[in-house]
Structure 1
Amino acid sequence: MQIEKLIEKIKHYRWLSVGLLIPIMVIGLLLVILVKQDTAPSSVGLVSSPQLNTGEKHEKGVKKMAGNDKKPTDKETERKDRITVDLKGAVKKPAVYTLKQDSRVNDLLLLAGGVTDQADTKSINLAQKLTDEMVVYVASIGEDRPVEIVGTKAHDDVDSAAAQATDKININTADLAQLQKLSGVGMKKAQDIINYREQNGKFNQPEDLGNVSGFGEKSLEKLKGSVAVD
């Protein structure tokens, strides 16, 4: 009898175990489904994250572009503070140079590597300020041409024509810059004219320029009709 009761109890607990197992399996299945649903959005997030990064890069790109928009303004401002000068003659590197405003002839020659051995260094004013579109010509020793010519050739032609069409240059009152407007007269010759009249008094006639060093018959012939005395 006891054996039969024991068997009945085992059968009873077996069905009870089966009954408990089924709900557990259902709960486990539900948990698996819920976990899958939770993981699905995370995978989407991983796919979209590069897009978010792309968006950030795009924003950075926009910021960079915005920064680039300011740079041209800075460059324009920098250009306004620059001058362009054409250097020619007896220099090591004749070329067109861009320098800061208020630069001097000395600064320009340093950029060009200096002058050659044939340069007439006595006629160069290293302290002279440069201006935009200036043409600086360094003459060679014994060369009869201006050391420094201000402005472009077209501008010089206009000035020359204007000088011929209007008043002549008075060699007794003209300053250094005015004298350099004369054909073939550079800074050195202009200074020689001023030195001569300071030492010997005023010129009595244009031909008296022949008494100044560097002015021969050919020079006087070129200046005929361009100079005057008071």
Structure 2
Amino acid sequence: MDKDKIYISIIVFLLVIIIGGVTYFQWIQPSPTLNITIPEGEKQQNTKEEYIYVHVSGHVLNPGVYQLLSGSRVYQAIGLAGGPTEEGDIQKLNLAQIVQDGQKIIVPGEKDEGTDSNFNLSSDLGKININTAPSELLQTLPGIGPAKTQAIIDYRQKNGAFTKIEDIQKVSGIGPATFNQIKDKITVN
């Protein structure tokens, strides 16, 4: 009988150690996080915090106007709005895109047609937002073909958002003549 008690005690002791060890190792494991490395050239050089306001609507839990730090991304704005609803399809949006002050972000539903739903269009009477429009939309502008479209996209990726529509002339291949053809059809809002 004493032998049985010793064996049971050893088994219970080992079980406690094993369960305790597993629990401890699970507890010390870091929770999964989004690991983003910011290249040196993109780190904020200005320590003064500047705020912008964006309107988040569509298929989000709490549509409304939200205050963000300048340089914030679309995913952060959607997060402030409570995230997408069950019908919301954030895969149709560029979540990494930097938002602009006064911008409206519309989270489309899964059944909504197209990609980048309305996010790429400005609320400025249907003008094309040269800061957010995809290649297909840019090519609808007069005098802007695939090569110039790619030059615009490359410029945005390298230099950031255009601050005024005239800045599009900084893109290689777009001069005053092309600008005059498109100036009434574009915006940077």
Same-fold call, TM > 0.5?
no
TM-score by length of 2: 0.41
TM-score by length of 1: 0.35
Q: Select the structure of larger CA radius of gyration.
A: 1
Greater relative CO, 1 or 2 (CA 8 Å, sep 6+): 2
